[in-house]
Amino acid sequence: MTDFQMITAAAGRLSGMSARTPLLNSPFLDEIAGRRLFVKAECLQRTGSFKFRGAWSALSNLPEDVRRKGVIAFSSGNHAQGVALAAKLHGVPAVIVMPHDAPKLKIDNTRDYGAEVVLYDRLTEDRDAIGARIAQERGLTLVRPFDEPLVIAGQGTVGLEIAEQAVESAIAGAEVLVPCGGGGLTSGIALALEAHAGFRVRPCEPEDFDDTGRSLEAGEICTNLPGGVSICDAIVTPQPGKITFPIMKRLCGPGLTVSDGEVLEAMALAFLRLKIAIEPGGAVALAAALFRKDEIAGDAVIAVASGGNADPETFLKAF
Amino acid sequence: MTDFQMITAAAGRLSGMSARTPLLNSPFLDEIAGRRLFVKAECLQRTGSFKFRGAWSALSNLPEDVRRKGVIAFSSGNHAQGVALAAKLHGVPAVIVMPHDAPKLKIDNTRDYGAEVVLYDRLTEDRDAIGARIAQERGLTLVRPFDEPLVIAGQGTVGLEIAEQAVESAIAGAEVLVPCGGGGLTSGIALALEAHAGFRVRPCEPEDFDDTGRSLEAGEICTNLPGGVSICDAIVTPQPGKITFPIMKRLCGPGLTVSDGEVLEAMALAFLRLKIAIEPGGAVALAAALFRKDEIAGDAVIAVASGGNADPETFLKAF
């Protein structure tokens, strides 16, 4: 199980490898949010999302002889790029199994980082079977996107930086809003901030994909109903993870939910006011900070902008 | 005259006020540039451009009884916002004289930072006469956009950060490409890096507005020919400054020139690969790093992205 020590150890392995992303703010956004609003810009991380942290944390901890054979991952895009770059920097092969309808930019980038991309059809093919076959044939190690203690530890380093940067920005306490798919980033940040009494983490999700928020309310893992549609491709997981959920249940506040329209508006405001590009799934926490102010407590809020990898056509929808 | 000591003093006054903007990079941009390319993202600075540094440097150094009466500035937009916010944070009035065809975002923001905006017609009205009249009536202090030692010192703090960040990013030497209008930022960075032998500053300008590049070549101040048109509104000054030019002549390498089309391409690449929004005038150095590689020496280059304040319509042209 991931603990604070594992997160600081991951931070040590990531030192000089990952960027310490800035905590941005704008008086124009403060006004909309009704309080001081800070954005942790993980879209400026290597590979354009926080996922590089978890991937590097996991790969850098593998025994040399295991790592040398290579790694495999399933991902619609950001974990894919994180694992691909981490493998490239270690000089080991990576196979990434991606749905054929993932954003083109994410597929192209993953290939450009040197990984072998295997596409599958979400509706007719069994991803796990494809992955298991390739992994067995080639002796690859599976790097899970969120239900993996070392990956959670890597994502938790975002929380360590938030704690440091809160001091620098004179933020005594704040709710910390995090885009939540499987819960790796949310649970990692919650663990990193556990000892900071004034900081409470809250998972943010798109409407119809609020599995984590409903699970926290119910006290047990709930799944999303089938048929939901969202532009937030990065975080439309069916349910929280088996490892991440107990952490979130113990440490997180209630979930927050936003609409696709609010996500697009948050993307446009981030571009105009903070000068950063956030992808839809990465913008749900900022959208919640801006448009759910009555559901948030305190005079400061921190929203994690978890990634920026969208196709230009998606950004055009926001303008 | 500005010297290194004035720049470190300005850095002291700016401590806790300005952001230490990140030095970003992307392997995809390295490939286009043909060398390691780093972008100093001053578009992420408060007010969306480096101009806040110079404005704060100047205002924070005024005697209290002088500052209290207020300040006045001429600007098409970024200096306007920098002075407006610096005045607001000091709790003193600011009047900004702006051309009525400045980008709407810049006019709106300047007002929203609390300044009184006086619009004038570039073709029929005398900006200096308008400003002089208001300044005299109200006892305001003029804050020049570039030909002012304290402003140059403030902009020079960008160079101090580049020197520190170069060490962190293992950059032993590099040409430092800087968007150049009147030369405040360029001369300030050149002074800050003077003692760093491996770093040479080069002014970057749009075609038809390469007054600084031609002045450096001629060894004396040259003006732009009338009738030129460029999308780079922030840096279409008629000639380099009387104070800034001698500094640039002593310290800078030859100028680099790029087309509006290359600027738009650089903006799109910055958005796609670095996840940042750069305005046209702020993107000329990145465009030069990407598209003038044969005119640049060394295995690393640093491009300053000086601002990000463009109207959404301008960004749409880049996509």
CATH number (domain holding residue A63): 3.40.50.1100
Closest residue by Cα to residue B26 from A144, A288, A44: A44
Confidence of residue B127 (pLDDT cuts 50, 70, 90): confident
| Element counts in chain B: helices (H) and strands (E) | 14, 10
Asked if A275 reaches chain B (Cβ–Cβ under 8 Å), the answer is yes
Q: The tokens of B284 are what?
A: 């000329």
Confidence of residue A275 (pLDDT cuts 50, 70, 90): very high
Q: Is residue B268 part of a domain?
A: yes
At which of A88, A122, A142 does a domain end? A142
| Mutation to test the B interface, candidates A42, A89, A269, A275, most B Cβ within 10 Å | A275
Does position A152 have pLDDT exceeding 90, yes or no?
A: yes
Q: Is residue B58 part of a domain?
A: no
Nearest to B319 among A21, A109, A316 (CB): A316
At which of B110, B125, B142 does a domain end? B142
Residues A26 and A66 in one domain: no
Confidence of residue A319 (pLDDT cuts 50, 70, 90): confident
At which of A122, A142, A162 does a domain end? A142
Residues A177 and A302 in one domain: yes
Does position B315 have pLDDT exceeding 90, yes or no?
A: no
Searching chain A, which residue's CA lies closest to the CA of residue B108? A28
Residues A237 and A165 in one domain: yes
| pLDDT (tens digit per residue) in B31-79 | 999 999 999 999 999 999 999 999 999 999 999 999 999 999 998 889 9
Average pLDDT over residues A184-205: 97
Does position B88 have pLDDT exceeding 90, yes or no?
A: yes
Whole-angstrom distance, CA of residue A284 vs CA of residue A267: 9
- How many Cβ atoms from other residues are within 10 Å of residue B136's Cβ? 9
Residue B157 DSSP code: H
Helix axes A244-251, A184-192, angle to 10 degrees: 50
Q: Is residue B228 part of a domain?
A: yes
Q: Is residue B56 part of a domain?
A: no
Q: What order do you get walking across the sheet with B23-24 strand by strand?
A: B23-24, B36-41, B300-305, B174-179, B199-206, B256-258
Q: Do A312 and B268 touch (CB under 8 A)?
A: yes
pLDDT score, position A65: 96
Number of Cβ pairs closer than 8 Å across A and B? Answer: 66
Q: Do B44 and A276 touch (CB under 8 A)?
A: yes
pTM of the model: 0.95
Does position A199 have pLDDT exceeding 90, yes or no?
A: yes
Average pLDDT over residues B202-223: 97
Q: How far is CA A238 from CA A197, A244, A251, A283, B19, in A?
A: 31, 14, 21, 19, 39
Q: Is residue B31 part of a domain?
A: yes
Residues B90 and B174 in one domain: no
Q: Give residues with Cβ within 8 angstroms of B3, minimum separation 6.
A: B191
Asked if A43 reaches chain B (Cβ–Cβ under 8 Å), the answer is yes
Residues A192 and A229 in one domain: yes
- What is the domain range of residue A128? 52-142
**DSSP secondary structure string for all residues of A138-191:** HTPEE--SSSSHHHHHHHHHHHHHHHHHHHHTT---EEEEEE-SSSHHHHHHHH
Residues A259 and A287 in one domain: yes
Asked if A77 reaches chain B (Cβ–Cβ under 8 Å), the answer is no
Residue A71 DSSP code: E
Residues B311 and B172 in one domain: yes
Q: Is residue B64 part of a domain?
A: no
Percent of chain B exceeding pLDDT 90 equals: 87
Nearest to A44 among B24, B27, B271 (CB): B24
Nearest to B28 among A112, A277, A316 (CB): A112
Residues B76 and B38 in one domain: no
Confidence of residue A227 (pLDDT cuts 50, 70, 90): confident
Residues B82 and B208 in one domain: no
Residues A174 and A290 in one domain: yes
| pLDDT (tens digit per residue) in A93-122 | 999 999 998 889 999 999 999 999 999 998
Does position A290 have pLDDT exceeding 90, yes or no?
A: yes
Q: Is residue B60 part of a domain?
A: no
pLDDT score, position A122: 84
- Tally the domains of chain A: 2
Does position A84 have pLDDT exceeding 90, yes or no?
A: yes
Residues B257 and B202 in one domain: yes
| pLDDT (tens digit per residue) in A1-15 | 889 999 999 999 999
Residues B100 and B217 in one domain: no
